[in-house]
Chain A
């Protein structure tokens, strides 16, 4: 390989990594947390201790929705499963700040009234690819970040001249050399995962990144494009005359019989109308492909009016790639491996951001100082923001208006505060202080949570409350890691001036 080529790849790697590196770190970390979306949602709703079979929970949910939100244009329900005991309901509501509600319903009563208002793990899931920025800009930005990530990965492989020789190499206490070792090891060891998750991440937002094929074939007729992409979806215009939903349980039983498996999602279009449609989809955790088989019923009679299982090869390929990214299928070992590999990718990005500075030691321009300070808030601030989100969940008063949105505000306030600390404190002090804050925030959370909810800690071990037991253990592990990082940063002396120019570009 010519030296010039590798050099230009090195430049590409450096700048593609830096440009959206801060954003990528947030995307990767929230995505990693999303692996445990259901568990996080369960932890954030400690009131819910009851459980019900999926069909019973759907019947209860529809009972509550029929009396509380009969005028909604549609109810979109996700049935509880072995990981999450609440029914998730999304429906349009004019009183909600953004026009719709995304709430959890009690599996037995079907009502949300006894459950604190929170988005739970759904927030981290949506933040992962929408970044809390209005449609379509958040998704476009996330797509751009994913493309840059892929560029950084591929150019990183090209410039890493000793990819196999340095495969297991991690040398301690050598300043920049050690950072580069860590960057390489974290990036290379889980490289197949990194490539897979980045490429499939681009695929999930493909309609945003490359809309031209659809535009060329369908022009402005998006409805037709959508209908042909999802021929299984039965849609009927509202009749305008009121109608009563037939009992839902027989429809669910029929769907289960056809799937020869459990139900996952249930949607009811125009629930109070004579032309209502009930569509039942199978559970998304039962196959690798993220595509459901669906059965649709006429809402007022319960008669089957459509059934569909995706069998077109291109669509199936898409669904498998989508499914690989979502990891909904993953049994628990795979789930933890997704989490570990995701943390490795976050670590690769964080060490890469640090290396950008290390490679330019002695430089003191505006750009250099800006990067140094942004690194602090972007990297250390992200776990702090997530922890603040959990603290907010426990500390905000139960009856607070728009409580779920308030929790999200706590997330961004904490992130903003961390970025601010990065700008007002000396850089090294800021790193150390923020990691101590993160360690304290994580270490104390299980105790505060236990005091306020009575669930968690040892009661969980003795009582077999696996969810809280696992969450507490995980948070303690993070507290320990943050404290270790803070201590090592504090112990680390500013490195001596460079002896020679480094041969490896960073």
Chain B
């Protein structure tokens, strides 16, 4: 279930890392050449890992996260191929969606735990 949060976060992270590269920034018509793009991208990837690890079995979670990273990077490549200009808004949207999904999952989990006690 944690993939609901982890995949958008990984996509956002990969997207920002992509946008921090000259060639893809040009492709995506992305004017903002800020130094923080790449570190924030990595931060989002780390958050995606954290969201994955929130699940019950960390061993399964790591395997799944590695696959999710590949899927997210693949989605960034497809976005740059078919709709390069959509990458910046999609990445931003995915970051928001991922964080919102994570919070929702966390709330759901804690309410379930309270009920089970």
Contact = CB atoms under 8 A, between A and B. Distances in A.
Contacts of B77: 168, 170, 185, 189
Interface in A339-380: 340-341, 344
Interface in B38-78: 59-60, 63-64, 66-71, 73-74, 76-77
Contact of A165 (B21, B64, B71, B81): B21
A190 B70 contact: yes
B35 interface: no
Contact of A337 (B71, B73, B76): B71
A168 B66 contact: no
Q: Assign chain A's interface to a size class.
A: 20 to 34
A193 interface: yes
B18 interface: yes
Nearest to B80: A168
Given A168-B76, A333-B3, A340 B70 contact: yes
A331 B64 contact: yes
Nearest to B63: A334
B23 interface: yes
Contacts of B73: 167-168, 189
Main secondary structure of the interface of B (DSSP, over half): helix
Contacts of B67: 190, 193, 334, 337-338, 340-341
B24 interface: yes
B61 to A, nearest CB: 9
Nearest to B23: A169
Nearest to B24: A168
Nearest to B3: A333
B20 to A, nearest CB: 11
Interface residues of B, number: 23
Interface in B1-42: 3, 14, 17-18, 21, 23-24
Contacts of A90: none
Interface in A167-221: 167-170, 172, 185, 189-190, 192-193, 196
A103 B64 CA distance: 33
B50 to A, nearest CB: 17
Of A172, A330, A337, the most chain B CB neighbours within 10 A belong to A337
A329 interface: yes
Interface centre among B23, B68, B74 (most CB of A within 10 A): B74
A337 B70 CA distance: 9
A172 B64 contact: no
Contact of B81 (A172, A190, A192): A172
Contacts of A288: 59-60, 63
A193 B64 CA distance: 10
A324 interface: yes
A59 B60 CA distance: 32
A478 B115 CA distance: 44
A170 B74 CA distance: 11
A288 B76 CA distance: 30
**Which among B18, B73, B80 has the greatest number of chain A C-beta atoms within 10 A?**
B73
A451 B23 CA distance: 52
Nearest to A171: B81
Given A168-B21, A190-B70, A193-B67, A329 B80 contact: no
Contacts of B74: 185, 189-190, 340, 344
B81 A193 contact: no
B8 to A, nearest CB: 13
Given A170-B77, A185-B77, A331 B60 contact: yes
A167 B68 CA distance: 16
A331 B17 CA distance: 29
A193 B21 contact: no
A193 B66 contact: yes
A170 B68 contact: no
A398 B107 CA distance: 54
A336 to B, nearest CB: 8
A192 B64 contact: no
A189 B77 CA distance: 9
A460 B37 CA distance: 47
B3 to A, nearest CB: 5
A170 B70 contact: no
A337 B60 contact: no
29 contacts: A168-B18, A168-B73, A168-B77, A168-B80, A185-B74, A185-B77, A189-B70, A189-B73, A189-B74, A190-B67, A190-B70, A192-B66, A193-B67, A193-B70, A288-B60, A330-B63, A330-B64, A331-B60, A331-B64, A334-B60, A334-B67, A337-B67, A337-B68, A337-B70, A337-B71, A338-B67, A340-B70, A340-B71, A341-B70
User: Which A-B residue pairs are the 4 nearest by beta carbons?
Assistant: A337-B67, A190-B70, A189-B73, A334-B64
Given A165-B23, A169-B24, 12 more contacts: A165-B21, A168-B80, A189-B70, A189-B73, A192-B66, A196-B66, A331-B60, A333-B64, A334-B67, A337-B71, A340-B67, A341-B67
Interface of B: 3, 14, 17-18, 21, 23-24, 59-60, 63-64, 66-71, 73-74, 76-77, 80-81
Interface of A: 165, 167-170, 172, 185, 189-190, 192-193, 196, 288, 324, 329-331, 333-334, 337-338, 340-341, 344
